[in-house]
């Protein structure tokens, strides 16, 4: 108490001295207002009607800064930078054979299982404990409690981050009924719940949008839907299946929607230079003209998902839970593709903007923006080389930014990193992301916000 008072007095004294002694600085003070009241106002407890969780896969602080510098300049702000509460969370996984020990560098499966279930697990696990036991997910619990749910990604829908919400398998590779090699225990023909594709459809979120059509096209091997494709299983059980942007735009809100818009991951937004050991001449990114026009952009999927879930819940006392993933930030970081990575981050930011727009009209919505793990890319001195490969981009500021990829030899997959990552939020219960938390804490934050027990 004493300390606070003393600090307060000192601060007031400094402010007064600035105003009186150097009038020119008064303008600078206006530009740096005391945010105490705004921060107090932003602390909202109570219950949320809706939760929108936005995951930038592999979107560490470095990836955010690179995208910001390039797109809006060093002094600019992305939509994700405007959330009122920002904290950091640790992302580590645990070792499969000794779950008491951390695995410091997580993958998307273990990290996603963390916020989807509140439990740490091993790399590769999709919402199962290290012993293979399935864990109820936040989406499972919300469905049970009568909430509407959605799961949106630019990756294959069977990829780890979308998969952790609606399936439980011992390996992330078990994406379709004919890809069950590593998951015999989960296979339908062995009495399990089936592949990720089958389980997603069985869990039946109201909105499922992304890529991965090849796994939905695989043939179910056993059970009631034997010999059908998973996509046919989805149709038989009530899904409106759409496969392009026009189909998505036309899809009515009164039926669950499964949108599978690409065989694998969805196409990239931007293209640009490949980094080299000797750096590259400064250049800019280009729009990917090879991108299939039939594929909706992430922002289109986000808008549709929010609008459908909003319509479906308008006359209900229960709202919705929606996860939206910008998946290829991670994938292009792995590929050491700076423009690919930035384009996906900018596209993800556009989806965040939509979520914030919805929240403005519906303040009882908790919006959380975070990542599952850090990644390779680093901003290094302009024009420099590193032990890896670098590329230089001319940014929005008109300055050169050199990006290094050096966590693996050039030409091989760049690696995730074990750093903590940003978590930002606004709306009811958002204050629970403040400080340093754990990715597993996010499960409890969202659960509490929706009043689930
Ligand atoms: Zn990755």
- Rounded to the nearest angstrom, the distance between the alpha carbon of 75 and the centre of ligand 1 is 29
pLDDT given for residue 28 in this prediction = 62
pLDDT given for residue 453 in this prediction = 75
- Rounded to the nearest angstrom, the distance between the alpha carbon of 240 and the centre of ligand 1 is 31
**Cβ–Cβ < 8 Å for 152, 210:** yes
pLDDT given for residue 362 in this prediction = 98
pLDDT given for residue 244 in this prediction = 98
- Rounded to the nearest angstrom, the distance between the alpha carbon of 337 and the centre of ligand 1 is 13
Residue 22 in this model has a pLDDT that exceeds 50: no
- Rounded to the nearest angstrom, the distance between the alpha carbon of 121 and the centre of ligand 1 is 17
- Rounded to the nearest angstrom, the distance between the alpha carbon of 399 and the centre of ligand 1 is 29
**Cβ–Cβ < 8 Å for 105, 421:** no
- Rounded to the nearest angstrom, the distance between the alpha carbon of 207 and the centre of ligand 1 is 24
pLDDT tens per residue across span 161-212: 999 999 999 999 999 999 999 999 999 999 999 999 999 999 999 999 999 9
Residue 129 in this model has a pLDDT that exceeds 50: yes
The closest of 212, 210, 260 to 235, measured between CA atoms, is: 260
Mean pLDDT of 149-156: 98
Q: Which of 14-18, 56-60, 136-140, 307-311 has the lowest mean pLDDT?
A: 14-18
Mean pLDDT of 382-403: 97
Residues tagged active-site: 108
- Rounded to the nearest angstrom, the distance between the alpha carbon of 345 and the centre of ligand 1 is 14
- Rounded to the nearest angstrom, the distance between the alpha carbon of 256 and the centre of ligand 1 is 29
pLDDT given for residue 6 in this prediction = 35
- The whole-angstrom separation of Cα 151 and Cα 143 is 13
Residues whose CB falls within 8 Å of the CB of residue 436, separated by 6 or more in sequence, listed in order: 87, 88, 89, 90, 420
**Cβ–Cβ < 8 Å for 147, 449:** no
- Rounded to the nearest angstrom, the distance between the alpha carbon of 415 and the centre of ligand 1 is 7
Phi and psi for 256 in degrees, rounded to 5?
-60, 145
- Rounded to the nearest angstrom, the distance between the alpha carbon of 329 and the centre of ligand 1 is 9
pLDDT given for residue 405 in this prediction = 98
Mean pLDDT of 15-29: 45
Whole-structure pTM value = 0.93
Mean pLDDT of 137-156: 97
- Rounded to the nearest angstrom, the distance between the alpha carbon of 234 and the centre of ligand 1 is 28
**Cβ–Cβ < 8 Å for 266, 154:** yes
**Cβ–Cβ < 8 Å for 320, 296:** no
């Amino acid at each position: 108490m004493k300390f606070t008072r003393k600090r307060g007095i000192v601060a007031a004294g400094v402010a007064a001295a600035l105003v009186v002694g150097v009038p020119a600085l008064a303008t600078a003070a206006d530009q740096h207002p005391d945010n105490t009241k705004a921060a107090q106002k932003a602390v909202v407890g109570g219950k949320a009607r809706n939760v929108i969780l936005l995951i930038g896969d592999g979107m560490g602080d470095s990836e955010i800064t690179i995208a910001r510098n390039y797109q809006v300049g060093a002094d600019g702000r992305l939509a994700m930078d405007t959330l009122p509460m920002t904290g950091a969370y640790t992302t580590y996984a645990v070792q499969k054979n000794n779950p008491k020990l951390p695995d410091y560098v997580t993958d998307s499966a273990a990290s996603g299982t963390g916020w989807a279930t509140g439990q740490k697990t091993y790399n590769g696990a999709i919402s199962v404990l290290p012993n293979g036991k399935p864990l109820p997910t936040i989406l499972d619990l919300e469905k049970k409690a009568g909430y509407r749910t959605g799961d949106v990604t630019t990756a294959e829908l069977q990829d780890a981050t979308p998969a952790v919400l609606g399936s439980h398998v011992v390996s992330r590779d078990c994406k379709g009924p004919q890809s069950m090699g590593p998951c015999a225990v989960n296979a339908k023909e062995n009495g399990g719940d089936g592949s990720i594709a089958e389980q997603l459809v069985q869990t039946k979120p109201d909105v499922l949008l992304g890529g991965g059509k090849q796994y939905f096209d695989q043939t179910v091997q056993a059970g009631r839907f034997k010999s059908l494709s998973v996509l046919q299983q989805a149709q038989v059980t009530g899904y409106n299946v759409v496969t392009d942007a026009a189909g998505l735009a036309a899809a009515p809100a009164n039926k669950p929607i499964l949108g599978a818009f690409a065989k694998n991951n969805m196409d990239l937004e931007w293209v640009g230079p490949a980094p080299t050991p000797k750096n590259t001449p400064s250049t800019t990114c280009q729009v990917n003209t090879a991108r299939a026009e039939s594929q909706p952009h992430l922002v289109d999927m986000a808008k549709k998902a929010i609008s459908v879930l909003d319509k479906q819940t308008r006359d209900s006392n229960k709202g919705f839970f929606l996860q939206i993933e910008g998946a290829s930030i991670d994938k292009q970081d792995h590929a050491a593709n700076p423009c690919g990575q930035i384009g996906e981050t900018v596209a993800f930011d556009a989806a965040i903007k939509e979520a914030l727009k919805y929240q403005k009209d519906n303040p009882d919505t908790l919006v959380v923006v975070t990542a599952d793990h850090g990644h390779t890319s680093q901003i290094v001195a302009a024009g420099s080389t590193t032990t890896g490969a670098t590329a230089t981009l001319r940014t929005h500021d008109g300055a050169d930014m050199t990006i290094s990829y050096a966590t693996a030899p050039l030409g091989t997959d760049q690696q995730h990193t074990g750093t903590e990552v940003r978590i930002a939020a606004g709306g009811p219960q958002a204050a629970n992301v403040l400080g340093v938390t754990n990715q597993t804490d996010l499960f409890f934050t969202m659960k509490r916000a929706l009043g689930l027990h």
